[in-house]
Structure 1
Amino acid sequence: MSHIHTEANDPLVIDNAEAARLLQGAPWRRFAVMGDSVAEGIGDPSPGYATSPWADRVAAALRVGQPDLEYLNTGRMGAATRSVIRHQLDQVIDFGPDLVHITCGANDLWQSDPDIEALAHNLDHLFRTVAKQGAQISTVAFADAFIGPTMGPMRSRIHTLNEIVRELAQDYDAILLDLWEHPLRLRTDLLSADLVHFAMSGHAVVASEMIKALATAAQPRHRVA
Structure 2
Amino acid sequence: MRPLRFVALGDSLTEGVGDPVGDRWRGWAELLAHGLAPVDAAVEFTNLAVSGAQTRDVLERQTPEALALRPDVVSVVIGVNDTLRCTFDIRSVAERLDTVYAAFRAGDTLLMTACLPDPGSMLGLPGALARPLARRQRAVNTVVHALSERHGAVHLHAAEQEWLTDRALWSADRLHPGERGHRQLALRFHALLAERGIAAGAAPSGEPECAVPTRSASLWWLATAGTGWVARRCTDLLPHLLTLAASEVRHRARGTSSRLDIGAAHAVSAALAALSVAEQRDAA
**TM > 0.5:** yes
Q: Is the 8 A contact 1:80 1:108 kept in 2?
A: yes
- Offset of 1:196 from its aligned partner? 1.2
CA distance in 2, matches of 1:125, 1:66: 35
Amino acid in structure 2 at the alignment position of 1:191: W
Larger RCO, structures 1/2 (Cα 8 Å, 6+ apart): 1
Partner SS for 1:189? helix
CA distance in 1, matches of 2:48, 2:97: 16
Q: How many residues align?
A: 188
Which has the higher mean CA deviation after the structures are superposed, 154-163 or 144-153? 144-153
CA distance in 2, matches of 1:106, 1:186: 19
Alpha-carbon deviations, 1:178-213, whole Å to 9, x = none?
122262322123332222111111111111101001
What is aligned with 1:209?
A: 188
What is aligned with 1:78?
A: 52
Specify whether residues 58 and 44 from structure 1 end up closer, same or farther in structure 2 by C-alpha distance, changes over 3 A only. Answer: closer
Q: Greater helix share, 1 or 2?
A: 2
CA distance in 2, matches of 1:97, 1:129: 12
TM-score (ref. length: structure 2): 0.61
Question: What root-mean-square deviation, in Å, do the aligned CA atoms of Structure 1 and Structure 2 show?
Answer: 2.3
Does residue 1:161 correspond to 2:140, yes or no? yes
Alpha-carbon deviations, 1:41-79, whole Å to 9, x = none?
111559xxxx84111110111244462211111000001
What is aligned with 2:280?
A: none
CA distance in 2, matches of 1:44, 1:63: 23
Q: Is the 8 A contact 2:18 2:178 kept in 1?
A: yes
Does residue 1:218 correspond to 2:197, yes or no? yes
Partner SS for 1:114? coil
CA distance in 2, matches of 1:40, 1:210: 16
Partner SS for 1:100? strand
Q: Is the 8 A contact 2:10 2:53 kept in 1?
A: yes
**Structure 1 residues without counterparts, runs of 5 or longer:** 1-27, 220-225
Instruction: Trace 1:113-128 onto structure 2 (pairs within 5 A).
Output: 114-128=88-102
Which has the higher mean CA deviation after the structures are superposed, 187-196 or 30-39? 187-196
Partner SS for 1:149? coil
CA distance in 1, matches of 2:40, 2:61: 29
Does residue 1:108 correspond to 2:82, yes or no? yes
What is aligned with 2:9?
A: 34
Q: Is the 8 A contact 2:5 2:43 kept in 1?
A: yes
Partner SS for 2:74? strand
Partner SS for 2:9? strand
Q: Is the 8 A contact 1:58 1:207 kept in 2?
A: yes
Which has the higher mean CA deviation after the structures are superposed, 36-45 or 210-219? 36-45
Amino acid in structure 2 at the alignment position of 1:192: S
Q: Is the 8 A contact 1:30 1:98 kept in 2?
A: yes
CA distance in 2, matches of 1:95, 1:143: 30
What is aligned with 1:8?
A: none
- The match for 1:92 among 58, 66, 88 is 66
Partner SS for 2:51? coil
What is aligned with 1:16?
A: none
Partner SS for 2:169? coil
Alpha-carbon deviations, 1:82-104, whole Å to 9, x = none?
11122111110010111111011
Q: Is the 8 A contact 1:57 1:207 kept in 2?
A: yes
Identity of aligned residues (%): 28
Amino acid in structure 2 at the alignment position of 1:106: V
TM-score (ref. length: structure 1): 0.76
Q: Is the 8 A contact 1:32 1:73 kept in 2?
A: yes
Partner SS for 1:61? coil
What is aligned with 1:152?
A: 130
- Offset of 1:40 from its aligned partner? 1.0
